[in-house]
C-alpha cells in the first residue's frame, strides 16, 4: 500500500528508520534507549521495523584515543571495527527489555549494485523480518573503500527501504525538520510537506550533523528522501527526539509524498 500522509503512518506494515552518528554516540549515547522504546512500540503492534544506524566510527573513536573523526581510510576502518561491535551491543542491551532480538546487517555499495549480492541481501532481510528479528543495518566501513562508499547512510537507508519494499522511511537527525535556511537564522521556515515532483531548487538547507562525527546533512536527507519517494516509499525527516511522535503519525518533521505504486504491488 502507499502511505498518503502522516494520518496513515499507523497503517504502515514495514518501516525503515535511519539514525545518524551524532544522535546516538558521544554525549548522545543515552538517546539509544528512547529510540529503542519507539521502535519496540511499533514492533509490538505488528510492524516490521528495520533500523539503519550510523555510529560505528564515532562509537569506536574514544577507544582509539581519537578526538576527531579520522580522515584516512585505514583508521576509519579500525574505528568502525571496534565501534560496530559496541554499537550493536548497546542496541541489543536496550532491546532486551522488550525481548526483541537484533540482527546485524553490514552492506557495501557493491552489495546493492551486484545482482547476486543484492538478491542475497534482500532474501536475508525479508527472512529476518518474517522471524520478527529487528535488522540493524550499517555500511560495512571495515571493508568499504572511498571509491565504493555510499557516502552517507541517508542514501543507504533509501536503498534499504527499496530493497525491503518499505512503505515508510523515517530519517532522523538532531534537527526537527528541513527548513528553507539554517533553522537558527532569521526567517527560517519549516518545510512541512514536499509533494512528489516539487522543485526544491533554490532552497537553502542547514546542516544537521555535528562537525567531526557525522557525514550527512539536510541536503543529503533531501536527496535520499527524493530517492525513496521515487520508488513509492513515503519519507519523514525529523529529529531523533521526536521518533515516537513520528512513528505514531504526529504532525512533526518534513513529509515527502511518495510516487504512486502499481496497484497490484504486494509485500512479499
Q: Judge whether 173 is annotated as a binding position.
A: yes
Is position 141 annotated in a ligand binding site?
yes
Instruction: Convert 85-99 to b/e letters by CB count within 10 Å (16 or more is b).
Output: ebbbebbbebbeeee
Numbered residues of the known binding site: 18, 54, 141, 153, 173-174
Numbered residues of the known binding site for ATP: 18, 173-174
Numbered residues of the known binding site for substrate: 54, 141, 153
Amino acid at each position: 500500500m502507499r502511505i498518503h500522509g502522516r494520518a496513515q503512518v499507523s497503517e504502515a506494515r514495514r518501516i525503515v528508520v535511519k539514525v545518524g552518528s551524532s544522535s546516538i554516540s558521544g554525549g548522545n549515547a543515552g538517546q539509544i534507549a528512547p529510540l529503542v522504546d519507539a521502535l519496540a512500540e511499533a514492533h509490538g503492534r505488528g510492524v516490521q521495523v528495520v533500523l539503519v544506524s550510523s555510529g560505528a566510527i564515532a562509537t569506536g573513536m574514544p577507544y582509539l584515543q581519537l578526538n576527531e573523526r579520522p580522515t584516512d581510510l585505514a583508521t576509519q576502518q579500525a574505528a568502525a571495527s571496534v565501534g560496530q561491535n559496541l554499537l550493536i551491543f548497546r542496541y541489543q542491551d536496550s532491546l532486551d527489555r522488550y525481548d526483541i532480538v537484533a540482527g546485524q546487517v553490514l552492506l557495501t555499495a557493491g552489495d546493492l549494485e551486484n545482482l547476486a549480492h543484492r538478491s542475497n541481501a534482500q532474501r536475508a532481510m525479508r527472512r529476518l523480518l518474517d522471524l520478527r528479528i529487528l535488522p540493524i543495518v550499517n555500511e560495512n566501513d571495515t571493508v568499504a573503500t572511498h571509491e565504493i562508499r555510499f557516502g552517507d547512510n541517508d542514501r543507504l537507508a533509501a536503498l534499504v527501504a527499496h530493497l525491503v519494499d518499505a512503505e515508510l522511511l523515517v530519517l532522523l537527525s538532531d534537527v526537527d525538520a528541513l527548513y528553507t535556511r539554517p533553522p537558527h537564522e532569521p526567517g527560517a521556515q519549516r518545510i512541512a510537506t514536499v509533494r512528489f515532483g516539487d522543485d526544491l531548487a533554490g532552497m537553502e538547507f542547514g546542516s544537521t550533523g555535528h562537525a567531526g562525527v557525522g557525514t550527512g546533512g539536510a541536503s543529503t536527507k533531501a536527496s535520499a528522501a527524493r530517492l525513496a519517494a521515487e520508488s513509492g516509499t513515503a519519507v519523514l525527516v525529523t529529529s531523533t527526539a521526536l521518533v515516537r511522535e513520528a512513528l505514531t503519525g504526529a504532525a512533526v518533521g518534513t513529509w515527502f509524498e511518495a510516487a504512486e505504486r502499481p496497484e497490484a504491488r504486494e509485500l512479499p
